[in-house]
Amino acid sequence: MQKALTSAALRQSNRRRIYQYVYQSATPVTKQEIAGALELSLPTVSNNLNDFLEEGLLAYCGTQASTGGRKPRTISLVDDARFSVGISIMDDMVRLVAINIRAHELGYQKIRKKFSHAPDYYQEVARQMECFLDRLSLNRQRLLGVGISVPGIVDAQRQRLVFAPTLDLRDVPLSDLTEAFSAYPVRVENDATASGYAESWVHSEKRNLVYLSLERGVGGAILLGGKPYTGDNGRSGEFGHICIVPDGRPCRCGRRGCLEAYCSTSRLSDDLGLRLEEFFHMLRCGNQQIALTWERYRNSLTDGLAMIRMGMDCDIVLGGMLAAYLEDQLEQLRREVCQKTLFDTDGSFLKLDCFQSHSACVGTALFYVEHFLAEF
């Protein structure tokens, strides 16, 4: 019995190694190349490749030049063989994204919808997701799972949403959020943690970084060696609620002077009756009142960034809705953060999220891609 189990485990290991070798290859490969690189026999490689071809996970895509015999056939990944969905729930909108196993975006949609912690709200989001998948003509049998990100503290062990100030939720069961999606594997993740993971995935570097999400709520995540650090109680990275102004502006968390109270995107949009794109258009056109508002915002933001940099001493990635408007502001932000820290003269540690407002959706969908690659 033990020998049989060992053989089964070996077969599974070979299957995984072969698939991941093709996945990680920058160009199509031949079975001879796979056998040589992994030190496996050609029959073992051939048998596994036949299974993958039958399952639609790999495909023949051409031939290489002949070295005297038949031309070797090349094999590549079928990127869209599986996909996952990420849903970002916010207080005033829902974002949806579908990604394939390369983390390439298959489709994106933003829906303006006021949040309500009621069954019909989640049922409507689930209905919108089904319509979204229909428009993309995606086969549900290939769906790995649905990830939902929320702007709040998620206790995965207790399966509770501990606190989400922008949604006005405290200590609710995650099943309230997931029941409408129960036809598929589903999980809930903090939005900033998901965003940070997406950033780490793209760079494929096992590095330390802090992710700061600048939306209507301000959240954060810490990744150590490319892996999320959630803290002892699952509350790490709540940078939006560090105090930057003692007894300052009231925050939705119930305290005063939080970074979120000064750096919510609402300060640049809702409070002024503007959309973010309108605010930055007016800023670039030289509107003095808008410039003064931005200067105040920027000063608060760099105060918070300097605290984070001094405490964590690693790269900081700015993401969320605001990231889409910061490319021409980045150098000034870097200079001002360096002026407020003790050791820094080069601000290259401060970067912008490449996914911007899509990052939370992509990050939470990536969980299922990673699980598929590791466990299939």
Measure the CA–CA gap between 53 and 78, rounded to whole angstroms.
Answer: 9
What is the pairing mode between strands 143-150 and 186-190? parallel
pLDDT in tens, 250-298: 998 899 999 999 999 999 999 999 999 999 999 999 999 999 999 999 9
pLDDT at 233 (0 to 100): 81
What is the DSSP code (8-state) at residue 256?
B
pLDDT at 227 (0 to 100): 84
Measure the CA–CA gap between 147 and 313, rounded to whole angstroms.
Answer: 31
Cα dihedral 257→258→264→267 (10° resolution)? 0
pLDDT in tens, 57-108: 999 998 876 666 678 899 999 999 999 999 999 999 999 999 999 999 999 9
Q: 359: closest CA among 99, 92, 159, 81? A: 99
| Residue 157: φ, ψ to 5° | -65, -45
Architecture label for domain 2-77: Orthogonal Bundle (1.10)
* Residue scoring higher pLDDT (236 or 375): 236
| Residue 78: φ, ψ to 5° | -90, 100
Q: In the sheet that 160-164 helps form, which strands lie side by side, from edge to edge?
A: 153-155, 160-164, 169-173
Fold that domain 201-357 belongs to in CATH:
Nucleotidyltransferase; domain 5 (3.30.420)
* Residue scoring higher pLDDT (149 or 63): 149
For residues 262 and 249, is the Cβ–Cβ distance under 8 A? yes
- Percent of the chain at pLDDT exceeding 90: 77
Q: List the single range of 51-60, 65-74, 308-317 with lowest mean pLDDT.
A: 65-74
Which sequence spans correspond to the domains of the chain? 2-77, 82-195+359-375, 201-357
Average of per-residue pLDDT values in the chain: 92
What is the DSSP code (8-state) at residue 66?
P
- pLDDT-derived band at 5, boundaries 50, 70, 90: low
Q: Is the pLDDT of residue 205 over 80?
A: no
Q: Is the pLDDT of residue 229 over 60?
A: yes
Q: 77: closest CA among 56, 104, 48, 54? A: 56
What integer is the mean pLDDT of 346-375?
Answer: 90
Max distance between CA atoms of the chain, in angstroms, equals 80
Burial label, 68 (beta-carbon count in 10 A; 0-12, 13-18, 19+): exposed
Measure the CA–CA gap between 224 and 206, rounded to whole angstroms.
Answer: 8
What is the pairing mode between strands 93-100 and 105-112? antiparallel
Q: List the single range of 154-163, 195-204, 343-352 with lowest mean pLDDT.
A: 195-204
pTM, whole model, 2 decimals? 0.83
For residues 245 and 294, is the Cβ–Cβ distance under 8 A? no
- pLDDT-derived band at 200, boundaries 50, 70, 90: confident
Which tokens belong to 159? 């399966």
Q: Which DSSP helix (H) or strand (E) runs through 277?
A: helix 276-284
- Percent of the chain at pLDDT exceeding 70: 97
| Residue 169: φ, ψ to 5° | -120, 145
Return left, alpha or beta for 101; rule: phi > 0 is left, psi -120 to 50 is alpha, else beta.
alpha
Measure the CA–CA gap between 273 and 285, rounded to whole angstroms.
Answer: 18
Q: Is the pLDDT of residue 202 over 90?
A: no
Q: CATH: 3.40.190.10, 3.40.50.2300, 3.30.420.40, 1.10.1740.10. Which one for 82-195+359-375?
A: 3.30.420.40
Q: Is the pLDDT of residue 3 over 60?
A: no
pLDDT at 303 (0 to 100): 97
For residues 265 and 277, is the Cβ–Cβ distance under 8 A? no
Q: How many CA atoms lie within 13 A of 201 on its CB side?
A: 21
- pLDDT-derived band at 130, boundaries 50, 70, 90: very high
For residues 193 and 221, is the Cβ–Cβ distance under 8 A? yes
Distance of CA 230 to the CA centre of its chain: 15
Q: Do domains 82-195+359-375 and 201-357 have the same CATH topology?
A: yes
